[in-house]
Amino acid sequence: MNYGSEWPSTHISLLNRVRVPTDSEAWKEFVNIYGPLIYNYCRKSRLNDSDSEDVCQDVFRQISSSLHTFEYNQKLGRFRSWLGTVTYHEICRFFKKNQRFQNQIGSNGLQEIIYEQPGEIDAVWSDEFCSHIYKAALENIRPEFDDKTWKAFELTWIKDRSPKDTAVELETEIPRVYKAKFLVQRKLKEEIQRLSFDSVVFQK
């Protein structure tokens, strides 16, 4: 799947809710959405399970201490880039302060690890972000549809089967296949936008 520049960033209503200290549910949702993403990115950055968990905690501490003082500015960029930068900097900080890595890799090797992919312009991070949001949205909307409707969507959209072949396999009519695909696609788009709205960034 191709994630172009039009792919959304983060829903401003969720970010606004996260800024309210008493809205624990918003923070819980925020952590549930982005925790696995940050953790997996840490793992791909050569950190082990325990170290990745530690960096995740550092990232969320940084976010928690910053969000309440931030103001929305649509012109400054996308939230996914800001989150990527925060995560990247915390990974760098972890490498620099951890003597174990310095002893194992040496200063030159450590510099290569730290600076090989800055989070703000890292294509790997961007793809990971978009893929994660897409999968999370699919998982969230799945319970809202019956098995046959979901199967029609899955065959035509995900597996790229023709509506005619899908109708034959599901023993239904072609118009019903089109309708099922439309209904799930519409809900999927809404959920992606709920999780990640376009061009949101915060700055002091």
Q: Where are the domains of the chain?
A: 12-135+196-203
Residue pair 145/183 in contact by the 8 Å Cβ criterion = yes
pLDDT of 90-146, one tens digit each?
988 888 887 665 555 545 554 555 555 554 456 778 888 888 989 989 999 999 999
Q: Of 4, 49, 10, which Cα lies nearest the Cα of 136?
A: 10
Lowest mean pLDDT among 7-16, 164-173, 181-190: 7-16
Beta-strand relationship, 71-72 and 202-203: antiparallel
Query: Please, which residues have CB within 8 angstroms of residue 106's CB and are 6 or more apart in sequence?
Result: none
Residue pair 169/138 in contact by the 8 Å Cβ criterion = no
Structure confidence at residue 201 as a pLDDT band (50, 70, 90):
very low
pLDDT of 163-181, one tens digit each?
999 999 999 999 999 999 9
What residues are paired with 71 via a beta bridge? Answer: 203
Residue pair 92/114 in contact by the 8 Å Cβ criterion = yes
> Mean pLDDT, to the nearest integer, of 135-158?
95
